Amino acid sequence: MCGRYTSVTPARELARYFDVDEVETDDLGPRFNVAPTQEVYAVALHRGRRCLGALRWGLVPPWAEDPRTGARMINARAESLARRPAFRRAFALRRCLVPADGFYEWQTTTGGRQAWYLRPRDGRPLAFAGLWESWRGDSGGRSGARLVSAAIVTTRANEVLSPLHDRMPAVLAPPAWPAWLAPGEGDPDELGRLLAPAPPEVIEAIPVGPLVNKVANDGPDLVLPLPSRERV
């Protein structure tokens, strides 16, 4: 499960890090509490060029009657991408990377729910495996506005995450990016092998306070380490 994450690195730095050819979005600004249905950065191939754009988080399949469908499709399980009708065509043809500076998970304890911030040990952006789709509504027989949306692929948790949750975002290392972004239908088994849990040395877990629990809250205070005496 991935329901909240941070996006702090500016677009120009993401473009350099992901070696994109074209930036198709304004800078979205630093955000410490990115939530479903909000705009998020994504890297994808467009006409053979690697582009950085902004998509709505929550994949809306082309056949959906209402874009609100996307609120239920923020994550896509790696194990069933080739089978689920909502994701199989995107898995075959429309794969992307979703940059993140870290993500949150919640642990159920005897005292309540404790929030944890999972961040890269090397300080570089993470690349979540993602899928994207294009949806166009129809109102009164005329096509409506085009909506481009995305889902984050999840896989089983690694040793760092497993005490907190059984799922985590599929984090792709730079050598895997070309294969994941390659145009056309890739081999499902080969693509699936890219979606293994991240090695434990990639991510560290930091307990944080309850500010992240509310979507309206934002700012660097959300990722400040919580002293052990204040944990739930």
Per-residue pLDDT at 143: 57
- Of 137, 134, 136, 138, nearest to 149 by C-alpha is 134
CATH code, 5-230: 3.90.1680.10
| Single pTM value for the model | 0.94
Per-residue pLDDT at 144: 66
Q: Please count the CA atoms within 13 angstroms of the CA of 34 that sit on its side-chain side.
A: 28
What does DSSP assign to residue 211?
Answer: G
- Of 107, 152, 132, 115, nearest to 7 by C-alpha is 152
Compute CA 141 distance to the chain's CA centroid, rounded to the nearest angstrom.
34
Query: Going along the chain, which residue ranges are E strands?
Result: 5-7, 22-23, 31-34, 39-46, 49-57, 75-77, 95-100, 102-109, 112-120, 126-139, 142-156, 167-169, 203-208
Per-residue pLDDT at 141: 39
Query: Distance (Å, rounded) from C-alpha 223 to C-alpha 11?
Result: 21
pLDDT tens digits, the chain, 232 residues: what are they? 689 999 999 999 999 999 999 999 999 999 999 999 999 999 999 888 999 999 999 999 999 988 988 889 999 999 999 999 999 999 999 999 999 999 999 998 888 899 999 999 999 999 999 999 999 876 433 456 789 999 999 999 999 999 999 999 999 999 999 999 998 777 899 999 999 999 999 999 999 999 999 999 999 999 999 987 666 6
Amino acid at 27: D
- Which contacts (CB < 8 Å, 24+ apart) does range 77-85 have? 77/153, 77/154, 77/155, 77/167, 78/129, 78/153, 78/154, 78/155, 78/170, 78/192, 78/195, 79/155, 81/131, 81/153, 81/188, 81/192, 82/188, 82/192, 85/61
User: Distance from first CA to last CA of the chain, Å, rounded?
Assistant: 21
Q: Which of the residues are catalytic? A: 2, 105
Q: SS3 for 127?
A: strand
- Of 6, 99, 2, 88, nearest to 53 by C-alpha is 99
**What residue ranges do the domains of the chain occupy?**
5-230
Per-residue pLDDT at 232: 62
Per-residue pLDDT at 185: 74
Per-residue pLDDT at 142: 45
